[in-house]
Structure 1
């Protein structure tokens, strides 16, 4: 019931130039029950995280239009829903949108590492919705301080529910935002904009993983 109450409360938030994937309808990509599917994805994830006593959280800044806006899951695109399900012991998360599955570069890097760690990690965002530019729903922007404060209760509620022992903030923006909300975290470089290799090395060090050479951009394109 805690997971259900959290999801229902989050679905009630409405802000200008912000897409709430747990309530809103995207005319371009959604099917009639998309918001309900995303609510279910989140509710099931939180319930399973509590069952498994997940102790680590990775926190990014906000949802992106190619990832969490479509899936309702932070740092997770549609190409990695199967990986998400496996990491959470067969969790029945579902694709919510119509058409082919869409990928996101950051999610690809994150899930490549999660596959190596092979233990449940709860993924979340400081701002748990998708902020976009005015009249450009398929764009990403950084949430404002006002938006962060409006949704701050959800961030703290998530922390209080899971009681994580370790929080890794992905990117400087996320780390500063987490700090502004009064929570301590370990900062990791965001994998975008040339930070992929640094991010990989930092996560390897945090989890004691053997170093693995990151593929080149060319090999990523042709694989």
Structure 2
């Protein structure tokens, strides 16, 4: 059994600036996102991931809509389910009036996952709030250094709960955040802004290395 209590404790304790959004609040959409995230973590606990794919922050078209990292409406509603393979889907609850129905990064990640061998990776970001431009929640902004420093312990608590020892950092900010905490991570190009092909190639190489680890 995976105990995520410390993860949730740290997540809820994060300060929320005016230009960021806490996704799991006590409102209908927040409760739906939390239910989806808890369901995602339960599904991954059954799988037993060995790798954690660490991104940057939730995007307004994907994670911010569904509550699940690297999953937009397209992924949570997929038939068969992308995680379980069940014909009826993975059992997530989609919002009734989503702000967006798809996200390019989520599409790229799960397209690459189609060729992944072994247990699926665990997904999370170094900043778990949705950072946006002031007064414009339907935008994304780069998280500040202080925000990443505050958010990284949340990701590490999740990794500890799952017993993760192998990390892949999607983007330089995630790689730098893990490095500052003494955690080596395989660097993976972020799929946004023309990086989809490189992301897919590097992820395949990581997966191949997991299948054929070097002798110690």
Q: Which TM class, normalised by the smaller chain length?
A: 0.7 to 0.9
Residues 121-132 of structure 1: matches in 2 within 5 Å? 121-132=121-132
TM value normalised by structure 1: 0.80
Give the whole-Å Cα distance in 2 for the aligned partners of 1:11 and 1:66: 22
Q: May I ask how many residue pairs the two structures share in their alignment?
A: 202
RCO (CA 8 Å, sep 6+): is it higher in 1 or 2? 2
2:155 matched residue in structure 1:
155
Q: Residue by residue, what CA displacement relative to the aligned partner does 1:171-222 show, whole Å, maximum 9, x if unpaired?
A: 122211222233221001111222221111111222239xxxxxxxxxxxxx
Deviation at 1:18, TM superposition (A): 1.0
CA RMSD of aligned residues (A): 2.5
What SS class does the counterpart of residue 94 from structure 1 fall into? coil
Q: What is the aligned partner in structure 1 of residue 16 from structure 2?
A: 15
- Structure 2 spans left out of the alignment, 5+ residues: 210-216
Matched, 1:38 2:33: yes
Per-residue deviation, residues 39-93 of structure 1 (Å, max 9, x unmatched) = 0111122233223221111111111111111111111111111349431465421
1:42 partner SS = helix
Q: Retained in 1: the 8 A contact 2:49–2:122?
A: yes
Cα distance in structure 1, aligned partners of 2:45 and 2:23: 22
In structure 2, the partner of 1:96 is 95
Distance of 1:22 and 1:206 partners within structure 2: 32
Partners of 1:5 and 1:165 lie apart in 2 by 18
Q: Which moved more, 1:114-123 or 1:32-41?
A: 114-123
Q: So what's the TM-score if we normalise by structure 2?
A: 0.82
Structure 1 portions without partners, runs of 5+: 25-31, 210-223
SS at match of 1:112: helix
Q: Which residue of 2 aligns with 1:86?
A: 82
Alignment partner of 2:115: what SS?
A: helix
Q: Per the alignment, in what secondary structure is the counterpart of residue 151 of structure 1? A: helix
Q: What secondary structure does 1:123 align onto?
A: strand
Q: Which aligned segments of 4 or more residues in structure 1 are displaced greater than 4 angstroms?
A: none
